[in-house]
Structure 1
Amino acid sequence: MNRRRLLALMVKEVLQIRRDLSSLYIAFVLPLVLLLLIGYGVSLDAKDIRLAVVLEQPTPKATSLVAAFRNSTFFTVTELRQRQLAEAGMVAGRYRGVVLLGNDFDALVGRGQQAAIQVLLDGTDANTARLTKGYVEGVWTKWLGHEARAAGQSLTLPISAETRVWFNPALESRHFLIPGLIAIIMTLTGTILTALVVAREWERGTMEALIATPVGRLELLVGKLAPYFVLGMGGMALSVLVGLVVYDVPLRGSVWVLALSSSLYMVAALSMGLLISTIARNQFVAGQVAIVAAFMPAFMLSGFVFEPSSMPLWVDLLSRVVAARYFVTILQTLFLAGDVWSVVWPNCLALTAIAAFFLALTWKRTRKSLE
């Protein structure tokens, strides 16, 4: 590998980036826009759940329980008098859940007997239904404790559970999603950086002129990857900064470990994009293949939203060849838990193997000919 030719290739790529700013848009503007849109738009938290409370006969204790639901930050409460109106509203989609309090609620509670509360849930969104059920039970338990203290008694439960949440005490889903989202976005931008740019050279005929020079295959690969690696790492740094500043996601791990793992992943993404461009040689086709072959598997199979272990076995096995699965695990660990080496190193080794695989394929497909 001739260093002068390699340097000339890198300078040529830098000049091309300066003349055609699309690479800068892909590296910096696209991650910023996607982080802001998806970061604020995607959340696993359920807030302001529309809840109808049917109070057939207003009584002091029943009214007190309704007030407890109103004071909860999770619910937007509508008080009704008839069950039929609540059921019709849930069918129409106006309510996510219905709580029914019977006429004998006060009498049963006053005598210390079990007072039944019926809860109807909209199961079309299973995740929201489960959260609503848990929130209703939480409000009910808290209200029972308040009533017991007001009566000078202690609330006795058969089991007392003391819960402590590690790594994400506030249970903010955004703290879990943003690190994974950074990995997904860098998959898209890293792959497109080389897929579209190199395919554009094939369309414009500049690649043929480059092939006619004495440049070797290794010089060509390194000269293409190095400038876009710097761009990709710059976009990665910007994405991490947005996660820390805008979304207030903690970074408990080492910056150097983050830089190392990000470098391995960026090499894998850029190599995959370069491989796509050598096969497609057309910008439109390269873009479509990049989305289907890189972005969609990273989004669906990386653990960003869906836990791979909960998938069917064959899907779980398929996800193990997706580089984003290992990078998402590394980022979530570094951001929320810290430098957990038993997690970081095996996933870094997997990223190294995947990056080497794509580099080898790209090397094999890159020929000094037009065929």
Structure 2
Amino acid sequence: MGGGMTPRDRLRRLTALVRKETLQIGRDPSSLLIAVVLPLLLLFLFGYGVSFDLRRSPICLVVEQQSAAASELTASFLASRFFSVQGAVTTRDCQEDLVAGRVNAVVVIPSDFANRLYARDPAPMQILVDGSDPNTAGLMANYISGTWQTWQAIEADSRGRGVAPRLGVTARYRYNPEKESRNFLLPGLVAVIMTLIGTMLTALVVSREWERGTMEAMMATPLSVFELLLGKLIPYYLLGMAALGVTTTIAVWLFDVPFRGSVLVLVAVSTVFLLTTLGQGLLISTLAKNQFVATQAALFSAFLPGFLLSGLVYEIPSMPWPIRLFTYVVPARYFVPSMQTMFLAGDVPGVLVPNSLALLVIATVLFAVVAKKTPKRLDG
């Protein structure tokens, strides 16, 4: 059937199918919701509401005996942008706040602090940290210790007791000198958004056609499997690239995330990644043929692994080895570091090329399975 078709006829047939899919996207509110509203909502939520940085963290500062040195150290904590300080006289005054989570740490300046400091003895300072969240506890202890060490160095220098170090160490933070977690999170979030768009949209659309019976109508046409898949892919590829442009622009211009790569490389790597997500969505819809099942399958097989197992939130090397092994088949595992590299470091072939090749292999396998699972009655 359709064996006498010329290339121009096939192109006309493919163009008609792409036009039909594009019109369907415009008429479908759920497609626009997933492609436009949800990505923007996630981007603003992470951009403004989620941060791994320590900002104005509440601490309780206990000064057991007032002195000039204790007052100067207290002033250092009050001036720090990392802490929100409330004062107390005894540790017991802060215990209830620490248990209730109203403060993250208790800093105790002991009564003999000034005497031991002026006597050039070690002047101990006790730190009680809420360890229920180990990451926050580690940050709190490090920032408090850093504030103490900075004040101690300034105080020693002001009294002429500073000793010139034999070895000086200067830390330079490359790629993210501002040390803003937003610069690391938002590029990875763009990758997760692309996962959501590519997988869920194609999964919903094709499964909806199975429910409505329009897929059977297409089987009566001379469309081939290749033409059908390509006609489904092109509109959602363009929609995904448009979402990529919008989210990338917002990340750069509104949230001041640096972008040091080239637009052409970004488009090329994103194209390979979109092929994997679109192929996964087509496979889900081909197997499910039901919108509800397709939605759940897209969430559990694409969005959640992309969010949790890509290295965006949790470091992959710290995961158990079975989970680390599973991450190799998660496409977002390769796209998240690629996006973060392009944003923060630029076009680094040592990162982008291996990740793109891995994505290309996954996309090839997915489309081979989709072509095999698609009913053969569609062959022209």
TM-score interval, smaller chain? over 0.9
Question: Residue 23 of structure 1: CA displacement?
Answer: 2.2
Give the corresponding residue for 1:58: 66
Pick the aligned partner of 1:109 from 108, 112, 117.
117
Aligned equivalents of 1:156, 1:305: Cα separation in 2: 41
Question: Residue 288 of structure 1: CA displacement?
Answer: 0.6
The question of 1:187 aligning with 2:195 is answered yes
Question: Residue 88 of structure 1: CA displacement?
Answer: 2.4
Q: Deviations over 1:305-333 (max 9, x none)?
A: 11111212221111011110100111011
Aligned equivalents of 1:275, 1:129: Cα separation in 2: 44
| Structure 1 outlier segments of 4+, above 4 Å | 155-159
Give the corresponding residue for 1:320: 328
Query: What secondary structure, in the 3-state scheme, does the structure 1 residue paired with 2:346 have?
Result: coil
Query: What secondary structure, in the 3-state scheme, does the structure 1 residue paired with 2:296 have?
Result: helix
Give the corresponding residue for 1:81: 89
Stretch deviating more after TM superposition (343-352 or 151-160): 151-160
The answer to whether the 8 A contact 1:30-1:189 is kept is no
Aligned equivalents of 1:94, 1:22: Cα separation in 2: 42
Q: Deviations over 1:222-269 (max 9, x none)?
A: 111111111111111111111111111111111111000000111110
Alignment of 1:136-215 (within 5 A): 136-155=144-163, 160-215=168-223
Stretch deviating more after TM superposition (298-307 or 83-92): 83-92
Question: Residue 21 of structure 1: CA displacement?
Answer: 3.8
Question: Residue 16 of structure 1: CA displacement?
Answer: 1.7
Stretch deviating more after TM superposition (36-45 or 151-160): 151-160
- Aligned sequence identity (%): 49
The question of 1:281 aligning with 2:289 is answered yes
The question of 1:346 aligning with 2:354 is answered yes
Amino acid at match of 1:356: T
Query: What secondary structure, in the 3-state scheme, does the structure 2 residue paired with 1:320 have?
Result: helix
Aligned equivalents of 1:50, 1:186: Cα separation in 2: 37
Query: What secondary structure, in the 3-state scheme, does the structure 1 residue paired with 2:121 have?
Result: coil
TM-score when normalising by structure 1: 0.96
The question of 1:308 aligning with 2:308 is answered no
Amino acid at match of 1:16: Q
Give the corresponding residue for 1:260: 268
Give the corresponding residue for 1:91: 99
Give the corresponding residue for 2:4: none
Question: Residue 201 of structure 1: CA displacement?
Answer: 1.0
Amino acid at match of 1:218: F
Amino acid at match of 1:285: V
The alignment covers a number of residue pairs equal to 370
The question of 1:123 aligning with 2:126 is answered no
The answer to whether the 8 A contact 2:207-2:294 is kept is yes
The question of 1:30 aligning with 2:38 is answered yes
Amino acid at match of 1:57: Q
Aligned equivalents of 1:49, 1:200: Cα separation in 2: 49
The answer to whether the 8 A contact 1:145-1:155 is kept is no
Question: Residue 58 of structure 1: CA displacement?
Answer: 1.0
Aligned equivalents of 1:157, 1:311: Cα separation in 2: 40
The question of 1:366 aligning with 2:374 is answered yes
Query: What secondary structure, in the 3-state scheme, does the structure 2 residue paired with 1:124 have?
Result: coil
Aligned equivalents of 2:25, 2:64: Cα separation in 1: 70
Question: Residue 161 of structure 1: CA displacement?
Answer: 2.3
The answer to whether the 8 A contact 1:53-1:78 is kept is yes
Give the corresponding residue for 2:53: 45
Structure 1 residues not aligned, in runs of 5+: none
Stretch deviating more after TM superposition (91-100 or 13-22): 13-22
Give the corresponding residue for 2:3: none
Aligned equivalents of 1:74, 1:161: Cα separation in 2: 23
Question: Residue 368 of structure 1: CA displacement?
Answer: 4.2
Aligned equivalents of 2:331, 2:29: Cα separation in 1: 28
Give the corresponding residue for 1:236: 244
Structure 2 residues not aligned, in runs of 5+: 1-6
Alignment RMSD (CA, Å): 1.5
Question: Residue 110 of structure 1: CA displacement?
Answer: 1.0
Amino acid at match of 1:295: F
Q: Deviations over 1:80-134 (max 9, x none)?
A: 0111112222112121101111111111111111111111000001111111111
Stretch deviating more after TM superposition (156-165 or 257-266): 156-165
Aligned equivalents of 2:204, 2:226: Cα separation in 1: 20
The answer to whether the 8 A contact 1:28-1:234 is kept is no
Question: Residue 15 of structure 1: CA displacement?
Answer: 2.1
The answer to whether the 8 A contact 2:46-2:186 is kept is no
Query: What secondary structure, in the 3-state scheme, does the structure 2 residue paired with 1:298 have?
Result: helix
Q: Deviations over 1:153-191 (max 9, x none)?
A: 325568642111110001100000111100111101111
The answer to whether the 8 A contact 2:22-2:235 is kept is yes
Amino acid at match of 1:305: V
Amino acid at match of 2:316: P
